[in-house]
Structure formats: structure tokens, C-alpha cells
Chains A and B, each alone.
Chain A
């Protein structure tokens, strides 16, 4: 199913404050950070769905185009399978059933610790680069 990703890494609050103090566009940098999560996860999902290819319907339900939703000052992005668009089998695959073993790799593409770490690293890089640009670096 689609998972909502946010921006989470150590030191985020301090960095975003620095960026804001330098006149940076918080909204824009937030969207760039969220898109990073989508860019990291989506190719992994598509690659791992090759093992489960039959009709291609479940793979087609993967959210290809990142859509960012703002609710007040909170932004989020959906990543993964859209259940209402043929993505229901993804639940079977990612959690398994009593007759079907779990595809742990597919599950970890969205929920795994390694991918969350990768996303956090990329988001921190994006914010650091943006700050450096503001400083004229």
C-alpha cells in the first residue's frame, strides 16, 4: 500500500531554521526532500515486482508521479502501491499469507531500516546543499 513519508533526520530542526534565516523557501525545500523519498523507493519497488509479474496490474498501481499534499503547514507524499488502483495484491506480497511466504525484500523497499536511513541521508544532503547555495558556496 502507499506509505506516507516525511522528513526525519537528526538535526533537521536546526538546519531548517538556518535555511529559513538565510531567506530560503521552506515550502520548496520541503517538497524536494519529500520527492527524494519517492525517488529512492519507487525504482526498488519496480525492480522487485519483476519477481511477481503476471498481468502487471499490481506494478501499474505503483505511484510513479510524486504528488505532494499540503495540509496547512504539513506536507506529505504517498509512495508505493495504490490499493484502489490494483495494488491490493501488494499486501499479500509484503505481509505474506498462511499459504504464501512474505516477500521481505519487497516489504523492506518501503518499510526497511536501510531504506529509511538512505532517505534520511539524502534529505539531509538536499538541505545542506541548499544552505551552502544560500551562503554562496
Chain B
């Protein structure tokens, strides 16, 4: 599911990185996405075997252009929803290490049938 998330976010043409993976001496790209897998859990089971697994991710967009950060996250929300993700969030601020960038984030869920 992580691969699916990365693949979809990559279609916007900006780097996609795991949250926290930029090193201290690595410059922020002008605009980029980050993600974080909060949890992978058993959503439903049958006969003691997982039927559906739930994957819980944070998706964040950082940019030097605030309008772009907001717009891209909205577009990402639509794209992910059209590809099976469940997204109740419409976005919240996330902190940036750099004063030059603002960040917007959302929480996304997806169920994966493992049968």
C-alpha cells in the first residue's frame, strides 16, 4: 500500500519522501510531499486469518508557495480518494524545519483485501 501511495503522489511531478528522511544538511526541494505510515492493522478477519488490513498514513505537502501547498494537497486528496483511499480530513497545518516553506497535511486510510 505504501508503494501505491508513493506511486500516486509521484504523478504530481514533485519528490515524495518519508517524513523525517531528509538529512540535516539536505536542502528542502521547493515543493515536495512526505508520508508516514502510522499503522497497519487488521480491519477484519475470517477464521482467524486477516480478511482486510487497514493502512493508516499521514500525507504532507511542503512548498515555498503557500497556495501551491494548499492546492496540491487538495488535488492529492481527490486523486487518492479516486483510488480507494478514505480521507475524512480536509487538511491541517504541519510544522516545517525551514522558514521558507509551509506545510499542509492530512490523514488517509485504505483497506486492502488480503484474501
Identify the A interface with B (CB < 8 A). 88, 91-92, 95-102, 104, 107-108
Q: Is the CB of A95 within 8 A of B22?
A: no
A residues near B21, Cβ cutoff 8 Å? 98, 101
Tell which of B5-13, B65-73, B92-100 binds the partner. Answer: B92-100
Q: Is the CB of B58 within 8 A of A97?
A: no
The 7 closest A-B pairs by CB, nearest first: A101-B20, A96-B19, A98-B22, A92-B95, A97-B97, A99-B97, A95-B94
Q: Is the CB of B20 within 8 A of A96?
A: yes
Q: Is the CB of B96 within 8 A of A97?
A: yes
Q: A97-B103, A102-B20 are in contact. List 9 more A-B contacts (CB 8 A).
A: A92-B95, A95-B58, A96-B20, A96-B94, A97-B19, A97-B96, A98-B22, A99-B22, A99-B26
Q: Give A101's nearest chain B residue, CB to CB.
A: B20
Q: Give A98's nearest chain B residue, CB to CB.
A: B22
B residues near A97, Cβ cutoff 8 Å? 19-20, 94-97, 103
CA distance A96 to B103 in the complex (A): 11
- Mark B96-115 against chain A: 1 for CB-CB distance below 8 A, else 0: 11000001010000000000
